[in-house]
C-alpha cells in the first residue's frame, strides 16, 4: 500500500482556498471510477483507490494544516506503511502559480503542514509534491494570501496544475519519485532570462563615446 496525503484545512469556509490545493489533488484522484468513498478515520477523510493492481490510500487530514502530522502518523502506524511509500501534496507560495516541484526529501521550507509531518514522523525522508499558488503581493500578508481564493483569471491555470499533479502522483506510484522529479521540476536553464542581443549591449571600449551614469539613479540598479 502507498499513501497520498493532500494538505489543507477542513470546513466549507476553506474550500477552494490556495492552502487547500493539496485537498484538490486528492479529490481529483478520488473521482476515478476505481476509487471508493471518503470515510472519516484517523482524524482524516480517507478513501482507497486501486490503480494498476496497487492499493493507494488517499488522505485528507482534518486536524487543520498546522497539525497535519497527527493524522499522518496515525495512518502510517495503523497500516504499517514505510515512509518511502508516502507522498505529500501541498501548496507553495515560493513557486509561480501552477508550477510543480517534486522532492524525495528536504526541509519544510516554511510550509507548516510539512513541518508538522516531519515532527511526527521524526524524519524528512518522505516524498513531497508542491503546487505553486503564487506569491502574495508586495504589501500582502502571507497568511491572508494562502487562505484567499484564486482569482477568476487564475482558475484555469490552477485546474490544469491540479490535473498535472494528479498525473504526477500516478507516475510516482508506477515509477518512483526520481522519475517524477525529472518530469515535473522546472528546468533552471529554461528559467534563466534570455541573453541580451549584441545590439543591446553597451559599446566596447573605443567603439564610441562613453556615457556617464545617470546621477539621479544608483549605479547598481538594473535597467
Grid coordinates given for 148:
484567499
Write the CB contacts of 187 (distance below 8 Å, at least 6 apart in sequence): none
3-state secondary structure at position 40: strand
19, 120, 139, 145: the active-site residue: 19
19 tagged catalytic: yes
* Whole-angstrom distance, CA of residue 105 vs CA of residue 205: 50
Find cell 508538522 and name the residue. Answer: 116
Check if the beta carbon of residue 58 is closer than 8 Å to that of residue 46. yes
Give the total residue count for the chain.
223
Residues belonging to the active site: 19
Amino acid at each position: 500500500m502507498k499513501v497520498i496525503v493532500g494538505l489543507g484545512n477542513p470546513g466549507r469556509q476553506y474550500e477552494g482556498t490556495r492552502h487547500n490545493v493539496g485537498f484538490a489533488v486528492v479529490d481529483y484522484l478520488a473521482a476515478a471510477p476505481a476509487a471508493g468513498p471518503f470515510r472519516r478515520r484517523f482524524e482524516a477523510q480517507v478513501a482507497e483507490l486501486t490503480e494498476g493492481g496497487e492499493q493507494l490510500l488517499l488522505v485528507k487530514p482534518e486536524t487543520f494544516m498546522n497539525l497535519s502530522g497527527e493524522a499522518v502518523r496515525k495512518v502510517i502506524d495503523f497500516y504499517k506503511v514505510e515512509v518511502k511509500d508516502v507522498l505529500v501534496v501541498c501548496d507553495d507560495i515560493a513557486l509561480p502559480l501552477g508550477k510543480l516541484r517534486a522532492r524525495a526529501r528536504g526541509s519544510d521550507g516554511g510550509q507548516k503542514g510539512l513541518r508538522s509531518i516531519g515532527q511526527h514522523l521524526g524524519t524528512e525522508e518522505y516524498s513531497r509534491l508542491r503546487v505553486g499558488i503564487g506569491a502574495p503581493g508586495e504589501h500582502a500578508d502571507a497568511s491572508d494570501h494562502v487562505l484567499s481564493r484564486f482569482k477568476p483569471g487564475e482558475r484555469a491555470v490552477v485546474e490544469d496544475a491540479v490535473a498535472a499533479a494528479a498525473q504526477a502522483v500516478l507516475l510516482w506510484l508506477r515509477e518512483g519519485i526520481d522519475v517524477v522529479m525529472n518530469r515535473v521540476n522546472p528546468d533552471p536553464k529554461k528559467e534563466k532570462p534570455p541573453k541580451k542581443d549584441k545590439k543591446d549591449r553597451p559599446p566596447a571600449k573605443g567603439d564610441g563615446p562613453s556615457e556617464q551614469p545617470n546621477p539621479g539613479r544608483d549605479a547598481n540598479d538594473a535597467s
